[in-house]
Structure formats: C-alpha cells, structure tokens
Structure 1
Amino acid sequence: MNTFTPRTFRTGVLAGTSVLTAAALLATASPALADPTGTEVARAASLVERATGTQDLAPSTAATGSAARAVTATDAGSVTVTAPGDSRGYVEATTGTGARFRIHLPQTKKVDGVRTGAGTIVYQDAAKSADLAVQPTDDGGARALVTLKDSTASDEYRFDLDLPSGSSLTPDGDGGYLITRSGDRGTTVLGSVDAPWAKDADGRPVPTTYRLEGGTLVQTVKTSADTAFPVVADPKVSFGWNIYIKFTKGEVKALNNKVQYADTSTAACALLVNPVAAVGCAGLSLTVIKKIQRVWQYAKDHKRCVELSLTYAGLFADVKHYKC
C-alpha cells in the first residue's frame, strides 16, 4: 500500500494512533520511570516493539507533565512530540512554525504512562483487556497503539483528533487520510494518517479499518476464532513537510521491473498511485532515479520495504529500505 505522509502516527491491536509532537501541556503527575526489571509493563512494551520494530523510534526524555518528549530534526525544521502523562491525555506534535496536531487516546480509566523498552510509553490495563502505548518516531511523528490481550477486548477504538487550524481530513484512496489545507495557492498536504494495520501473536494480519465520525477517527479490528492473541494494531499519523510514500515487500517485488526500467521522472512517477504524490514526484534527475533503482533492487533481494520521501516543492528528499 502506498502511503502519502509527512510524519506518522499509528494505532494497533496493539492498536494505536500517531499524534503530532508538541510541548508538554498536560497538567498531569510526574511521569513514571521505567522499571529496569522484567515487569508486566516491560513485557507489554516488548510485545509492542516486536510488532512495530524499534529502528524508527526517536530518542525521548521524561518531561514535566508528560510521560515522554521527543524533539526530531526534519527537512522543514524541528518537530516536538509529547506523550501524555496518563491515558486520559493526548499525543501532541508541534512543528517549529507552530502548526499543531493532537490525537486523544481512547476513553479509558486513568493510568500513568511508563517509558520503558526502546522508548515505548505503556499505559497498562487502561481499557478492558487492553493496553495503550505511544511511540515517538524519528520522522517527527508518533504511533498510538492498542494491544488487545484476549477476545473480551473491544473491537473498536475511538481517537478524537484536533487538526491544525484550517485543515481537514481527505481520504487517500488506500484506507488512510491526508491532512490538507486549502488556500489561494491550492491544497497543501500537512500530514497523513496511514491506512491501519493489525497483527496477531503469530504475526498474521488481522482485518482492520478506519471510519470518521465528525472529528473522531474510529478503528475497528475484526478478530475471529482463529486469531492468536494478543493482537497489535497500528495506524500511523505523520506530520511535517515531506511526502512519504511507503511500499510493502509485495509491492517492491511486483514493481521491481518497472522501477529498474524507468529512465525518466515521468516513468518513475507513474508508479505512484497517490495523485498528490505523483505530482510532487515530477522532475527527478537521472542520478536520483539510479539511486532509487539501487535501493529498490536491494529491498527486493532482501525482502525489505521501501520509503520514498519528496518535498512539496517537488524535490527528491530521500529513499531508503527498511525491515518490515
């Protein structure tokens, strides 16, 4: 699935959503510190990190009024992501220009967040048979996750959204949403909510979808008698000033021949199903195309995913392969 985003948030079963970074504004108690011993919280973080990986987690520190705060340098400046001190708060992302996005965790009982593992903040047993978690990511985004522990956990989780001023959500055609703002110069994409995913304990995909109800993002996870619990689900929200297009291992393999024989930017951009991303892709040089081809071939040979990032001015930013 191609995902068009400038920074990312995710939900999961482990359910989660990503939120924008921002200063810690929550009036909450001091964050709990991670217990270095093998506690239930540490095991909960390990479960989440096994599903998400840890390569893209941003370094974070405890901060007054929040469980963790991460400041990440991006092409457009710094982005600050703050995880709430307790499960009744919100994840907030703020750019250096002051643009801000918030995603509220699902309505639950009040549980303090604990930063542990490789940087995952866990809100243990915040909902019936479910843990919540937040992960700031190194692209200036964050994942807000839900772990469904057994079949008695709810199959639906609601995340209230506070979008940047003047912006709205637009379906991206892949099951996710773009955060867009319209003006005299056309439509600007500020960020995105990736299409959701969910995995069970055996690593098998679990069907999951989003729908919008007003300003609330609702994620439904469809478990069955064959589902191996716990389940981790993850929609990802990105916020920033680049376009991020992600290709799964299957897409990398299926498109490899077309990529290798693409000798113009027009041919390369034809691979992008997202129309906004395709427009931003125009003007790639032959040198950039060759780099994309090298990275793509390596990803195909080693069964990895590919992420292509472009600026909204149509300039190539980067391409990388990653474990997925």
Structure 2
Amino acid sequence: MRTSTHRRKPVRLAIATVSAAVGTAIFGGAVPANADIVTAQTAGVDESATFVEAATGTADIAATVAAAGTPAKAFTATGGGSVTVTAPDRANGTVSATTGEGSSFGLSLPGAEDVEGIKAGTGTVVYTDAATATDIAVQPTTNGGARTLLTLKDDKAPTTQRFELHLPVETEAVDNGEGGYDLIRLGDDGKPAITVGTIDAPWAKDAHGKDIPTRYRLEGNTLVQTVDTQSNTVYPVVADPKFDWGIVTGTLYFNKSETRKAVESGGFLTAAAAMIPGPGAPSAVTIAGWSTMAAIAQRHGKCLKINTWLKPNEYSGGYCR
C-alpha cells in the first residue's frame, strides 16, 4: 500500500512597521508583582500578531472558537464540503484540517520549545520564541486551510525550518511545478490520482515589505522551507507555508501505467474526466488533445497531468512512477 485545489497566488501585501511598544499602554491601576512579565508577554504576542497580519491581511482569517486542547478551532465550508481547522495548544503540536467525511491532514509546527499558543489580533494564534529568535503563528483560513507563519526576529533565527506532513493513507504530496505541492489521493482500479489539497508556493518578506527568496524541498513526508536572508536583510522577516484541505481542485495526476492507458484508450480518458468537478463531459477534441499530450509525456519519460480547467500537461517525479 502506498502512503504518504483552485489554487491561489501567495499574498503580496506590504508589511507595516510595528512598534516594539505595542500593548504596553493597555494596563493601568493596581498591578500584581509579576505585572512586568505579564505585560511583556502580552506585548510580544500582540506585536507578533500585528506584524504577521500586516503581511497577510485579515480578510480570509476564519472566525474561531476555543476548545479543549486548542486556542482556536474554525468551522469552514469549501466547494468540497465542510472542513474543521484546529490550531495546536503548543508550538510543538500539529495544525490539523478534517473534512466532514473524516479525511484529515496535519502539518506539525517546527517549534522546538513547549510554548503555549495565544490568540491575538484578528484571530492569529501566536507562539512566541518557539525556536531561536523565532515566533510561530497560525491563521485558520475561510477556505478550509491555514497559514503557518514564521517570524524571524534577527539574524540568529534559523533560516531553514522543517514541517512534518501527516497525510491520510493513499495520499501523497506531488510537486506542482509552481513552487508548491498538490496533495493527491490515489485512485482505485487504475484510475488517476485526484488533488484533494494544496500547499501553496512559499513567500517571505522583510520588515520593509521586500520579497526575500524562499523555497521548499520535500524529504519523505517532511516539508523543508529555506529563507535566503542576506547581510542587508531588515528584520523581522515573515515567511508563510499555507495549505488548503478538502476537494478544492479537480487536477488529475496519471502515473506511467495510467499515462500509457491514456494514449491507448479514449474511453479511459472519458472515464477519468468524470472525476473532475465541472460543467460536464469534455468534447471529443478535448479528449484527443489529452491523448496527444499523454503520448508526448510518454516519449519524454514523464506522465500526464490534467488541471481543473481541463488543460493537459506533463510532469515528472512523485506519483509519476
């Protein structure tokens, strides 16, 4: 057994400059002996939330409720049904998304410290100093996913972080050719795999809103993000892995055997087309175009891929075996 949607571009908003004094004026009157510590902690959480929300915007942050074991749980609806997104109680926990049918995807935060998550701002859960000079934040989003944000506070912060992917059985991550990954559910009885989630291409920005190069690589089920800071980088830097879960795209992936079938049988492609959410069956011309692309991919030692807009392409790696 092998184990382990409509895609959006990463957010590109300028980051506002955040004062280190955020939250320091909200306390007054008589205070307990540990007030300085409490005030500093609150200010740090508020500052971090303000900073990342300036980078991401707040329009798609989902409304959340607190529940046992989590500071924030969101109940969202997608084109594929309902999804419940849960932020972990601690920085070394796992962000999870579960569909109404029970299919679940998780992404472990890279926090080395056992730091409590606190909801602040518009709905951002912040884990301050979860790793060396690094805050982590989680934002459940309205489309059945979540952003997991790294705030690198200074040049002592590690520039490579590792996120463990918790994939359902018969699901795997495949490079989508655009800097991110499609999460595909393997088909039964020789059917192609269909995309049931996505990990968007990463982005990173410094304190002035300047783009910082960043990239992913996949090591087994570990998503590794590297941020290429430089000597002139202005800190803090925010970086964002984002995922969506649930059927939010109909992209099909064919392995080599299925690609061969696509060359040989228009009926096989017609049956595969029924897996793609859309207005109806594709035309004979469309099916012929898919078969032609399958033959091209086969000659190149690659595999067929058909996106949700019925456009065929070739790909390699991952499921193409």
SS at match of 2:308: helix
CA displacement at 1:278 relative to structure 2: 3.1
What stretches of structure 1 of length at least 5 have no aligned partner? 15-33, 246-264, 267-273, 282-324
How many aligned residue pairs are there?
Answer: 230
Of 261, 266, 277 in structure 1, the residue corresponding to residue 308 of structure 2 is 277
Task: Please give the residue correspondences for 1:284-303 in structure 2 after superposition, counting only pairs within 5 Å.
Answer: none
Partner Cα separation in structure 1 for residue 202 and residue 229 of structure 2: 14
AA partner of residue 53 (structure 2): E
Cα deviation code 1:210-260 (max 9, x no counterpart):
011111000000000121110001121111112299xxxxxxxxxxxxxxx
Match status 1:89 vs 2:93 = yes
Task: Please give the residue correspondences for 1:185-264 in structure 2 after superposition, counting only pairs within 5 Å.
Answer: 185-243=191-249
Cα deviation code 1:13-59 (max 9, x no counterpart):
x9xxxxxxxxxxxxxxxxxxx99x97221111000100011000000
CA displacement at 1:182 relative to structure 2: 2.0
Partner Cα separation in structure 2 for residue 51 and residue 9 of structure 1: 11
Of 73, 88, 100 in structure 2, the residue corresponding to residue 69 of structure 1 is 73
AA partner of residue 165 (structure 1): V
Of 57, 78, 88 in structure 2, the residue corresponding to residue 53 of structure 1 is 57
Indicate if the aligned counterparts of 2:195 and 2:250 stay in contact, CA closer than 8 A. no
Partner Cα separation in structure 2 for residue 8 and residue 111 of structure 1: 31
Match status 1:128 vs 2:132 = yes
SS at match of 1:39: helix
SS at match of 2:179: coil
Match status 1:118 vs 2:149 = no
Cα deviation code 1:275-318 (max 9, x no counterpart):
4233179xxxxxxxxxxxxxxxxxxxxxxxxxxxxxxxxxxxxx
Of 132, 139, 144 in structure 2, the residue corresponding to residue 140 of structure 1 is 144
Match status 1:166 vs 2:197 = no
AA partner of residue 230 (structure 1): P
Partner Cα separation in structure 1 for residue 250 and residue 54 of structure 2: 23
SS at match of 1:110: coil
SS at match of 2:186: strand
TM-score by length of 2: 0.66
Corresponding residue number in structure 2 for 1:177: 181
Indicate if the aligned counterparts of 1:89 and 1:104 stay in contact, CA closer than 8 A. yes
SS at match of 2:53: helix
Partner Cα separation in structure 1 for residue 71 and residue 42 of structure 2: 20
Indicate if the aligned counterparts of 1:9 and 1:193 stay in contact, CA closer than 8 A. no
What stretches of structure 2 of length at least 5 have no aligned partner? 16-37, 252-282, 286-304, 313-321
AA partner of residue 242 (structure 1): V
SS at match of 1:278: coil
Corresponding residue number in structure 1 for 2:112: 108
Cα deviation code 1:65-113 (max 9, x no counterpart):
1121000122222100000001111000000011100000004110000
Distance 1:216 1:172, change over 3 A: same
Partner Cα separation in structure 1 for residue 244 and residue 9 of structure 2: 3
Q: Could you tell me the percent identity over the aligned residues?
A: 48
Corresponding residue number in structure 2 for 1:248: none
TM-score by length of 1: 0.66
Cα deviation code 1:146-170 (max 9, x no counterpart):
1000111001000001112211111
SS at match of 1:50: helix
Indicate if the aligned counterparts of 2:10 and 2:201 stay in contact, CA closer than 8 A. no
Indicate if the aligned counterparts of 2:199 and 2:244 stay in contact, CA closer than 8 A. yes
SS at match of 1:84: coil
Larger Rg: 2
Partner Cα separation in structure 2 for residue 194 and residue 41 of structure 1: 26
CA displacement at 1:203 relative to structure 2: 0.5
AA partner of residue 220 (structure 2): G
Partner Cα separation in structure 1 for residue 122 and residue 111 of structure 2: 26
AA partner of residue 277 (structure 1): T
AA partner of residue 224 (structure 2): V
AA partner of residue 186 (structure 1): P
Q: Normalized per residue, which structure has more strand?
A: 1
